[in-house]
Amino acid sequence: MSEEGPKLLVVDDIEDNRYTLIRRLKRQGYDNVVEAENGRQALERLREGAFDLVLLDIMMPEMDGYETLETVKSDPALRDIPVIMISAIDEMESVVKCIELGAEDYLPKPFNRTLLRARVGASLEKKKLHDQETFYLQQIETEKRRADDLLNAVFPPGAVRELKETNEVKPRRYENVAVLFCDVVAFTSYCDKNAPEQVVAELQDLTHAFEEITEKEGLEKIKTIGDAFLATGGLLQHLDEPILGAVRCGHQMVAAAQTLEPFWEVRVGIHFGPVVAGILGRRQFLFDLWGDTVNTAARIAEYAPASSVVLSNDGWYQIRNHFNGKSHGHVTLKGKGKVELIEALETKAD
């Protein structure tokens, strides 16, 4: 309802009847009253602005009250407006027909002023309660969308789905997961030479680009760690060839970084195997990964040349039919011993 009070619409084809009813309504404190002389004009008024109650005569030419009421109740934009039918007809059959068509109440003419006050007041109170309910439901839906946005900002899509379906994300071991680490070359020196606002803004642009690439390739962003971007393939959502998707994703990350200020160089390390994943924290939740596969992917990224996508020999074996490769020799990785690192180059021609 507006600050001027409830807005009422009086519909009657006889001017004297409209005048009498409007005068009585105003005596009862309802000053915001609009009139219409027939059903068609009433519908025009209703579609022009918001009303809280309609008092509708039944016997009118062209479009009677029954047809007007039926039109109002069939229109999703108008059907929640309560309608009180007013007519000299006091037969029960007419009352029943009006109620069946959706009328809130029925008043015979000449009407009793006390009954008029009671039924108008009751209808307006129901409209007020309905409006409040609608407002609260909209607020709930808004908060739900905010909560969903927050969940999707914190957790991968697969974790969000599981959380909604089961009210938890169980920690578990996942087999055959491609783990991708991508970090920025010489990021520390870049930070030392530039203003914090510029560093964060440009890193944000890079992260947004990486998020779009991972989503397009069917991978899942897990988190950022400083300037490093961690994603997985085949963890919480199915991916036919996780390591192939990860390599394609890596190549696109390298290309995207070179197009964004300050024209970054990044390096990508990929490994494939089992991981353990779950949620940690009570106040600041974090979905995270652990295990040898994660550690190995991170260390491979450290050894990768700038603007390259590098895998261990085991990972390379799985995608060797799709890409040309270049060996960077053997390096000693903690916990793994000597490991040959192979760079995935351009895609092989069919």
Q: Is the pLDDT of residue 333 over 80?
A: yes
Q: Is the pLDDT of residue 217 over 70?
A: yes
The predicted-structure confidence for 228-245, as pLDDT tens digits, reads as follows 999 999 988 889 999 999
pLDDT number for residue 93: 81
Identity of residue 207: T
Fold topology of 8-145: Rossmann fold (3.40.50)
**DSSP letter assigned to residue 4:** T
Q: Any idea what the Cα angle at residue 230 is, between residues 320 and 334, rounded to 5°?
A: 70
If you average pLDDT over residues 331-348, what whole number do you get?
85
Gyration radius of the chain's alpha carbons: 34
Q: Is residue 150 very low, low, confident or very high in pLDDT (cuts 50, 70, 90)? A: low
Q: How far apart are CA 21 and CA 338, in angstroms?
A: 95
What is the helix (H) or strand (E) element at residue 163, kind and residue range? helix 157-166
If you average pLDDT over residues 38-51, what whole number do you get?
92
pLDDT number for residue 248: 95
pLDDT number for residue 260: 92
Mean pLDDT of the chain: 88
If you average pLDDT over residues 20-33, what whole number do you get?
90
Q: Is domain 167-347 in CATH 3.30.70.1230, yes or no? A: yes
The predicted-structure confidence for 293-325, as pLDDT tens digits, reads as follows 999 999 999 999 999 999 998 889 889 999 999
Every domain of the chain with CATH number 3.40.50.2300 lies at 8-145
The H-assigned helical ranges of 75-112 are 92-100
- Sorted by sequence, the CB contacts under 8 Å of residue 107 that are 6+ apart come out as 55, 84, 85, 86, 115, 116, 119
Q: How far apart are CA 181 and CA 296, in angstroms?
A: 10
Q: How far apart are CA 312 and CA 330, in angstroms?
A: 9
Every domain of the chain with CATH number 3.30.70.1230 lies at 167-347
If you average pLDDT over residues 36-53, what whole number do you get?
92
pTM score, two decimals? Answer: 0.61
- Sorted by sequence, the CB contacts under 8 Å of residue 225 that are 6+ apart come out as none
